[in-house]
């Protein structure tokens, strides 16, 4: 399989996940907002994240199209790293009670499964970045 097909598969999976997460939050906004306000973070930050997270997820979806794939992969990786660390801290008991504010079917996952899910979706953009950079190096060498 060509490297481009791998990147297309990775970006499509990421786009589906981030679009689903954003749309789920917007479709049940009052529930998302209530769950965010129960998070073990400062209330002002929770209020801001209610309005910032869904648009960031949509921006990631848009950036995962050409010619911005590189930026979309980096932003997806950073976002998933933050989400994964947050869930990891919750499992470790560092943050106390953590209601899931992810939206849709993702919010029904136990924290352990949520961590595995996040690790998979953290790995995808990292692999995509690796393939992307490898292909770009190859193009430079061929010139």
**pTM for this prediction:** 0.91
Confidence of residue 109 (pLDDT cuts 50, 70, 90): confident
What pLDDT shows up at residue 12?
97
d(CA 136, CA 11): 17
Mean pLDDT for the chain?
91
Residue 3 scores a pLDDT above 80: no
pLDDT at 16: 97
- High-pLDDT (> 90) share of the chain, %: 70
More confident residue, 50 or 97: 50
User: Residues 39-43: what's their mean pLDDT?
Assistant: 90
Instruction: Please state, in angstroms and as integers, the Cα–Cα distance from residue 24 to each residue in 3, 11, 33, 98, following that order.
Output: 32, 20, 12, 19
Mean pLDDT across the stretch 18-22?
95
When pLDDT is averaged across residues 8-24 and rounded to a whole number, the result is: 96
How do residues 50-89 score in pLDDT, each as one tens digit? 999 999 999 999 999 999 999 999 999 999 999 999 999 9
Please tell me the predicted confidence (pLDDT) of residue 1.
56
Phi-psi region of 14 (alpha: psi -120 to 50; beta: other; left: phi over 0): alpha
Confidence of residue 94 (pLDDT cuts 50, 70, 90): confident
| Whole-angstrom distance, CA of residue 46 vs CA of residue 35 | 9
């Amino acid at each position: 399989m060509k490297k481009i097909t791998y990147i297309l598969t990775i970006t499509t999976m990421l786009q589906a996940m981030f679009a689903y997460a954003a749309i789920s939050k917007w479709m049940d906004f009052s529930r998302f907002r209530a769950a965010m306000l129960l998070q073990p973070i400062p209330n002002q930050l929770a209020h801001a994240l209610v309005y910032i997270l869904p648009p960031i997820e949509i921006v990631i979806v848009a950036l995962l199209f050409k010619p911005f794939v590189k930026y979309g992969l980096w932003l997806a990786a950073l976002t998933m790293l933050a989400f994964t660390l947050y869930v990891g801290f919750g499992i470790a008991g560092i943050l106390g009670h953590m209601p899931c504010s992810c939206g849709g079917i993702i919010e029904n996952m136990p924290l352990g499964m949520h961590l595995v899910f996040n690790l998979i979706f953290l790995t995808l953009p990292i692999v995509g970045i690796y393939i992307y950079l490898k292909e770009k190096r190859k193009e430079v060498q061929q010139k």
